[in-house]
Structure formats: structure tokens, C-alpha cells
Structure 1
Amino acid sequence: MDSVLLAAFAAVMLATVAFGSTRLALGEVLGIEVGSLFYAGLALSAFFAGRGFSATVSGFIYERRVTLARRLPGLALFGIAATVYAQGLTKDPVLLTILAGLQGILAGLTWPLVQTSVALHSRGSTLILSVYFALGSIGISLGRALYPTLASQGVSRVFMTASMLYMAAGAVLLAGFQSLTLGSTRQEASMGAWRETLALLLKARRALLVNLASGFSVGLNSQVLYPVLVDYKGVDRYTASYALAAGGLASIPSKLLVGALADATSLNRALLVTSISIAASLASLSIFDGIVAAAAAAAYLAFSSSVVPLARMTAAMEGKKLGAPATMVGVSNTLSNIGSMIAPVLAQPLVALPCGLVAYAVPILAAATTPRRKGRSVEEARPTWAVSGSSTGRGT
């Protein structure tokens, strides 16, 4: 395993511990202390909006400036560390929303490229990309599990600890990404090149649709689920935080099993199975209260997070086929973040409706049943580790 993969795995683990704890901290401050589920959702939407903007821009830039791609993601994590530290110094909902948007911009400069790097340096293995996302789930679960202990010393302690973890993740990326290669065929940023890139993106419209739908489906995450469970479903704070942590842990085998299913059968089948599971868990969360609702929320986190590696590998392999992998993953991240930006602000009206939360499963179900383009696609290719000498792999 090369240094790029090792750095990506270590960085995502450190950063997601920080991310998991700060999502609950923002939910605590905005959804409970300030008393506004609207602001809790708005801050999350601001994060996704910022990330969505910078993800596309970074994809175009990195493919034309590989030297920048080796340095800027690590530096952006240092910026996130400073932003998170600042979040711990205020409880003003407007300022927290602005800081969340800035954090999103910096995240868009980092994680789409890291995902592309894992997809390419693993030679297109869905399972290895699933391992990367599984490590992220471990980190988020650890962050959620640590949250009650850290928060007992004051919510600001959560943000301080997270800031240090982001700094460590940035140092790891700066050291490990020196040998990064992207294999892009895009060398010039002329107007003709931009038009050509747009035409290629249109050819990959199903991959982009899958990422848009996956973003909306996972937009109902712990920052919103936490106050939903506490304020609407009669779950105490400790039970809610531990249930969400358990859901993150359960997403680890979920990701690996779905990745293996996609490699063994097809992306479409794995996507359909995952979508149905998401719908079932959301229906249970809408109908039941108390411990059953907490278990349903945990199941939802496990199932919904497993759709992300499928969507990203679809974009990476389709992008490699078209000669613009970082651009494709960047645009896919943007669309995913647009979906996730819309989703949180709908939580308050939807949670009051019978089975209203099932609406979060509708887009991914629709994407899973959308017909694929005719002819052999990257989704139908054999995974790298199953074909000796192949560097294509099945797109997921």
C-alpha cells in the first residue's frame, strides 16, 4: 500500500473523530441551547453549500496543477482547525452558520481530492474505497461516543479537541501526498477545454444523478437527528448520542458488505438494496418513539452512509474513463452537497408528518432505478483485484 493511501486512511480517521463530535456540539448549541432546529439545519446547509462550491472548483484546479493538489488539501485542514476553534468561542447562531459555511469551503478543497486519490491509487477497487469510508465511520462513531465525556467539561472543550485533531490530519496529508498522481488528460484551462469538460459531464449524467440523490438521502445526519430524537421522539441525550454512535459503527460492516456486493454483482443491485433499507429505517423512525426511534435512527445512519462509496466510485471511474477523474468527483461532491444542503432545512416540517421522513429515501430510490446508458460501462467492468493487470475496476 503506497503512501497516498496510508495518508488518506490516517487523515480521514483523525478528521472524522473531530467531525463526529462537533456535529453533536453544534446540535447541542443550536438545536437545544438556542432552541432552534431551523438554525441547526441552516448551519449544516451552509456547510454543504460551501463544500459544494469549492469541490467543483478544486477538481478543475487540481487536474491542471498537481503540485497544488499535493499541498493544498493539508493546508485546508489547518484552516478547518482554526475555524472549528472559533466555533467553540461563540454561541451566536448567525456567526456559527457563517463559520460552518467557511468550514465547508475548506472541506471541499480537501475531501473530494482525497476520495479521488483513493479510487485511483487503489486501481478502482470498490472494496478499498469502502474501507476508506468505513474508517471515516469509525472516526465519526468515536467522535460521537467521546462527545458526552468532552461536553461534560463544557461544549467549548469539544471544539478545542477537534481543532487539534484537524491539525494532525493536515500534517499527515502534507507528508503523504507528495507522491500523488491523478492521471488526468486535462492540461489547459482554455474556453474550449471548459466546453469539452461540460460535454463529458453530460455524458456521465447518471453518475451525477446518483451523487445528487445520495447527498439528499444522507443529508439527515446526526446534527439534525440528535435534536429530532431528543425533542420529538422522547429520547434522552445520552441514549441519543450513543445510538447515533452505534449507527456509525454499524455503517462499517454495511459499507464493506455493500462494496463487496457491488464488486460481485453490479452497482445497480447494491444501490437498490441500500435504497430499500434506507426507506425501511426512515419509516420506522417516523412511526415510533423512544428506544425504537433511536434504533431506527441508528439503522438509517448505517444504511445511508453505505451509499456514499458507491456514488463516489461511480464518479471516479466514469471520470477516469472520460479523462477527468478529479473533475468528475469534484462535481459529484458538489451535487451531493447540494442535496445535503437542501435536506436539513426540511427536517422540521417533515418530522411532524406521518412517515414524512421517508421523503429522504425517494431520490436515491429513483436514482437506483434509472436506466443505465446502453453498452458496456464502468459499472459492468470487473474489479481491479479480480482481473490481473487491469486498472479499470468496477465503477461504484
Structure 2
Amino acid sequence: MLSKLFESIIMKNIFLTFLSLFFLQISQAYFVKIAKDNHMSQPGYITTIYESNVQATAVNSDQTKLFTVFRPSDNYCLSVTKLSYSINNTGSITSCFDNKHTVGNKVNKIILDKLGKTFYLLSNYNILAYNISPITNRINGQIFRKRFIQKIIDAKLVDEGKYLYLLTTSDKSQKGKLIIYRVNTDGSLDELNIVTLNYKPKKIIFDNIERVYIQSDKSIYFYSFLRNAKVIKDEKIITISSGEISDFSVITESSTESRVLLAGHSGAEGLEIGFISIYNFSSDIVRQIDNRVYKDFPKKIVTYKGEFDGQSKVLVAFNSKFSSGIVGSMKLLSDEYKVNGSFIDLLQNNNLVEVVYSNSVATYDLKEGLLLSNLFLNDGSNNSSFISNNFFGAGNEKNINIFQL
């Protein structure tokens, strides 16, 4: 009996060792090439990361590592690259993990926790969480997965990563959901509340953990929460009569007062004009304080409030240009910059903004009101774009070109 018990234990250990070696082999099966492109002559260029079918990127909280999700085959892989002024393969680790049947056909976003121990993936209908070693940068395993009937719009960690808010929208009706999770110590999620939305949500912004704004096609909704995720206020604060809101931003003035900036277009079909509208929202009272019209339709808007001077800056991306200025000034958008190609996306890291177009990428400092770079690049993609304190990336689904700011 004793010999059989030892034999069983030995066989079990052999089996577990085999599984570990197999997983290690899979995790190291894909090699990511990092090398300079000799044809790249843009200023600030450092190197290029060559990956197949890039899906999403993110930079960790201390701005030292670039996380990239890509799918060279049916399996997804994660590469973690140390950001520096000299980047090569010795500073990069790749782990391959779940396949498209588990994750979904396309990863739309990667979210990193503050400690670098957990990352979350958003596909169209799935959210997944994985533990990762902050020392080796290798994936330890999946710790959470949830599939939704509604399509995922976005998700964000709030309150120092204690909660995760997830926004979904129905494919079949003008409805959606705001789902609130508590983040456990291991990074897994516990559902706290589901808020049913009787409209189709497009974007969510957090004033803080207790104040949330959600955009639909024509309206902005405001929600106030208790710490247990219970809703104590739910109201529609802004509605436009015609056209569509393309984007919005919120500037926090105090604990009870905010400015809400809308970008969009309005008017009868064929006679539409672009607009930027500014509203003051204070103590449940909403008042429009500015409205500017433009021939072009604004696509996206970002804002930044100075920490010391309290001055609020704005940057608006149009289809083939972007403009910046000071909120409350006589001419809201005083500086205009022409770019090549059509608009793709706008990324923000505090005062730093990256504007991505199909044939060019520009970076801008809202704090200083300064254009940092305007590069001519072909085949731009938001999948390969990122901006940190010292570096930014631009490329397509096959590579990420890294530049210094």
C-alpha cells in the first residue's frame, strides 16, 4: 500500500512538472523582434517592436513598462518591454496564454492595476483577469472571466484600483448597463451592483468614485454613488435638440461644481455644423456658458486643468486637423495644426496628448500649450499607440515604433 502511495505521488509530480514545462514552452514559443528600422528618419525615433496582429497597449503606473497584447495565431500573447532610451530584446518578455475561443476574436483594451500584479482584458463580450509577476513579467494564470450578452463599451479601475466599473450596450435595443465590481486582493472581481440604463451608452467619465458621467447620442447623464455602489442620484443633465454628441470631457472645479464640454454636430440633415458647447454643472443646476460652431465636425475632445494656476486647457481633434486653446478665453480654439490623413484616435496621459491620424501622429503638451512633435507615418492605428511621460508609440497592426518626447 505504501509503495503504491509513493508511486501515485511520484506520478502526480511528474504530471504536474510536465504541465509546467508544457506551459513554459508555450509561453516562450513566440519571439518578439525589437530592432531599428533603417528607413525610419523621424525625429526622436528609438526603435521598433515587431509583433503580429497587435491588439492593444498600455503603460504601467510608474511609466517604466509597455504591455502589448497581440495574436500571432489562435493564441493571444503578452509582451512586456522595459521603456528606456535604449530598447532591445534583453528588456522584453513574451508570454502566450488563452486562445480566441476563450478571450474573443479581438481584444479592445488592456487595463493594468497599480501594483503591476494583475491585468484585465476587454473583448467585445468578455472581461478576463490574469495574475502576472511584477518581477519576471510572466503570466501566472487566469483568475476571472465573465461573458456578457451586451457588448462591452469600456471599463475602468477607480479609487486606487479598489473598484472596477464596466459599461455595456445592447446590440438589439437602446439600452445598456453599468456594472460595478469590487476588486479583491488577488485581482479577481466581485459584483456589487448593476445599474440598468434606458439608453445606449457611448462613453463614461469619472469625476471621482462617487460622481459618474455617461454619454449617449444626444444626452449626458449624471450618477452619484455611495461607497457600497448604491445609486443615490440619477439624472439627465444635458440634451441637444438635433445632431449627435461625438465626445465629451469633464473639468472638476470643486466637490460640487464641474464644467462639462461637449463636441459634436447639430442642425438639419445636409445643413449640419460642428459645435463645442460648455456647461456649468453646480448643485444640480446646469447652465450653458459657451457655444462655438465650426464648419468641420469635431471628433474627440480632451481637457487638462493646471495644478497651480487652475487654468483649464482644451484640445479638439477634427477629421484633418486639431486645435487647442484655453477654456473661457475669447477664442476657445486659438491654435490650429494641420495633419496628414484622417482622424483615428486621441490618447491622453495627464497634460500630454497623442493625436493619431492615418498618415501622421502628433504629440502636444496641454500644460505648456506646446506642439512637441508632428510625425509623418503611414498606416496609423490606435492599436499600436501609447503615450507615457517620456515616450510615445505609433504604428500599425504589425509593429510599434517608439519615440522619445
TM-score normalised by the chain length of structure 1:
0.24
Higher RCO (CA < 8 A, seq sep 6+): 1
TM-score normalised by the chain length of structure 2:
0.24
- Between structure 1 and structure 2, the one with the greater Rg is 2
Query: Normalized per residue, which structure has more helix?
Result: 1
